[in-house]
Structure 1
């Protein structure tokens, strides 16, 4: 298979896939979703997590793939949950984050994505960030993860109140994927 025919995305999250697929359409690229576990290691950076997972999955599939990991970094919580965002979502969830933020005026936060592309020659990492703030309550039902409590800078709505096209104008995942596409194409 040559470049530019089809890009395989490893994710079990259909909504993540839909966000990336919406961008790929702009470039007339076809994406396909491979639902495999990510083999996440606990690490202090998203880049370490995706580099490890990409190399493990590549040895299984022996074909070019993309996978990504995203984290929510809250300034007043010293960057928590950061690379442990998935664990925080599974354990304390949105209400737990809002409880940790009770009486905290500094609501600054950012989402970051590390996206890994691996083929027989290399593993390349692309990152994207979007800065914003944590809302005082969850709003919206269109997103996933911590989208209902994240308001990107320059917007009045949470990610979960935006449709895919609107979210892709701001999103960390969109920024990382567009950097990958510049490299890939």
Structure 2
């Protein structure tokens, strides 16, 4: 079984490849630059992206959109996480949280799947945690150096990709997709 993953993010691709391999699903990356719907809903963004890519490629495809939701910042950066990261980075997020005791946060990932002419299906995964006081760790990408998952003392970047892929928000969303895919699409 093989699925196309439309993403320009190599880190996401490697994680998806590792996670979906457990289900016997091979992942092929397609670097398709598609317009991102401006919405407060990750589900809407992923569904739109999946439909757009499926129609553009003429093949079934998955996309993934994720966001970091920080409680003390009223859920910011949320669905705008990629833009915020590119603009102010981890240092900017830490600056916004300076002096803040409440560092609770949640990472949410939504995988969208669509076939050409079909309706998109979305799969959500989440993980609670907190924002570190400073960036820590060398592995991963994006907010990994500042996100500490619940039950851990290490950031995602300190845990490393293999450990992260056992517990992450993206893992949960991709596992939900994989189960659905095997039961509803594979073998058709």
Q: Normalising by the residue count of structure 1, what TM-score does the alignment of the two structures yield?
A: 0.95
Of 38, 41, 45, the residue aligned with 1:45 is 41
Q: CA deviation at 1:38?
A: 3.3
In structure 1, what is the equivalent of residue 144 of structure 2?
147
Q: Tell me if 1:135 matches 2:123.
A: no
In structure 2, what is the equivalent of residue 74 of structure 1?
70
Q: Distance in 2 between matches of 1:65 and 1:145?
A: 23
Deviation track 1:100-151 (CA, whole Å, cap 9, x = no partner) reads: 0000000000000011000143310000000000000001111111111000
Q: Distance in 2 between matches of 1:129 and 1:93?
A: 21
Q: Distance in 2 between matches of 1:159 and 1:56?
A: 31
Q: Distance in 2 between matches of 1:53 and 1:11?
A: 10
Q: CA RMSD in A?
A: 1.0
Q: Distance in 1 between matches of 2:111 and 2:7?
A: 12
Q: Tell me if 1:162 matches 2:159.
A: yes
Q: Normalising by the residue count of structure 2, what TM-score does the alignment of the two structures yield?
A: 0.93
Q: How does 1:3-22 map to 2 (within 5 A)?
A: 5-22=1-18
In structure 1, what is the equivalent of residue 85 of structure 2?
89
Q: CA deviation at 1:15?
A: 1.1
Q: CA deviation at 1:35?
A: 0.7
Q: CA deviation at 1:52?
A: 1.4
Contact conserved, 2:125 with 2:173, CA < 8 A, in 1? yes
Gap regions ≥5 residues in structure 2: 183-188
Task: List, as ranges, runs of 4+ consecutive aligned residues in structure 1 with deviation greater than 2 Å.
Answer: none
Q: Tell me if 1:118 matches 2:114.
A: yes
Q: Distance in 2 between matches of 1:162 and 1:38?
A: 32
Count, aligned residues: 181
Q: CA deviation at 1:29?
A: 1.9
Q: CA deviation at 1:163?
A: 2.1
